[in-house]
Structure 1
Amino acid sequence: MALRKRSPKVTPTDTPRVSEAGSSAAAPVGRPAPTPVAKRRVGGVAVAVALAALGGLGAFVGTQANEAKPYLVVNAPVERGQKIESSMLSSVRVAGDPSVLVPATEAQQIQGQVATTDLQPGSTITRTSTATSLGVEDGESLVGLALEVGRLPAREMAAGDHVQVLFTPGNQNTKAGDESQNHDPVAAVIEASHHDQNSGKTTVDLRVKQADAQKVATWGAAGTASVIMQGAQK
């Protein structure tokens, strides 16, 4: 009996198939996977952006902190024309423009000036909030009177109040020629007022017409001037 020869069994190997061009089989078509170098680049850009944002925020906060300085504020109501005293001033640390707000280091320069506008407690003092005087218009004069109790209303007079100055000699003997002088009331406007605790007198600055200034000043020097307030004429 003749024996049949078995042909050897061929098993597949792991050797990749080679195309006709001699290259390995192509991988599935799609976006190429990012290489480690590309991943590092993307990560580096993200970190750089984050650091730049944090750096900008830090610079902004630092700038704000550097701009915060002590500036002057008033701690009590101050009316227009009222003299600024040291007890009225406080300071607060805020971010402001030194060309607009008054630094706390200039407190002594502000003391003794008058307010050019009404100031409420907590209001910052600006370069235009105070002045050495409110100024006098052409054709007007500013006259100061030191009045005793009874020669002006008990209520506090504010800058801008319209008043009249009267000749009130009281029990004093007038001079012989006084009867012929003009003793008509003089219309005036309060510019500032201040009560002196030591003397008990109230000093008022009055804006009057130039033609009446000498008469009012003479009454004040002689102690024959009084100030009254009147309502609007109907």
Structure 2
Amino acid sequence: MRTSEKPAGRGQVNAERPGQQAGLSGPASRKLPVSPRERKPALAALALLLILGGALATTLLVLRSGDRVSAIVITKQIGAGQRMLTTSMREVQVAGTDLGYVPWAQRDQVAQNFARVTLLPGTLLTRDMVVSTSSELGPGKAIVGLALKPGQMPITLDEGDRVQVIYVPGRGDGATAQSRVLSQSALVHRFVPNSRGGPSGQVAIIVDVKDAPAISTYSSSGEVAVVELPGAR
């Protein structure tokens, strides 16, 4: 009788290598070794410190924000002896200190007083900078208006400046007329620049009463000029 041999199936055990199925190669059946996961306690501790540090910084910022107070900062120059105007102030937040900053809530009371010294823009107002009376606007003083043209005033003129008022004779005054000082130290009380630009405009100055008549007379004929005195602030 004739017999035929059948090929070994997939589930048939290889006779040469017991325990290994046919159709699976040796190298493919092996798994690569996996190294155990390394633990890094130093990195974990560093991450924890960073988290705690961030939380602490946030807490400090919150606590310090509660120590800030509203104060007054000067936005426009105020000359010594001039009245404190609310239009020349604005609110600013500063750290609470013992320097005596005037609170923003008292701005209306401050506006009823005068500057002890010339206050420049950016100055944080303290109580020592304000006085209740003014030697500039008191008895013996007068406010005189000037209409100045280019060449009769410096381009840097501003309210609160100290100026010297000078008589400048016109061409029709003769060769014998000479310039002279009409006021040694006048205070620029108000300044309204010309809308057309250039160093010109309406200026109100505070002078001694005795100097007011001559300044007004020469100003009406355009024979007055002012010279800024930066060192006299």
Q: What TM-score do you get using the length of structure 1 for normalisation? A: 0.46
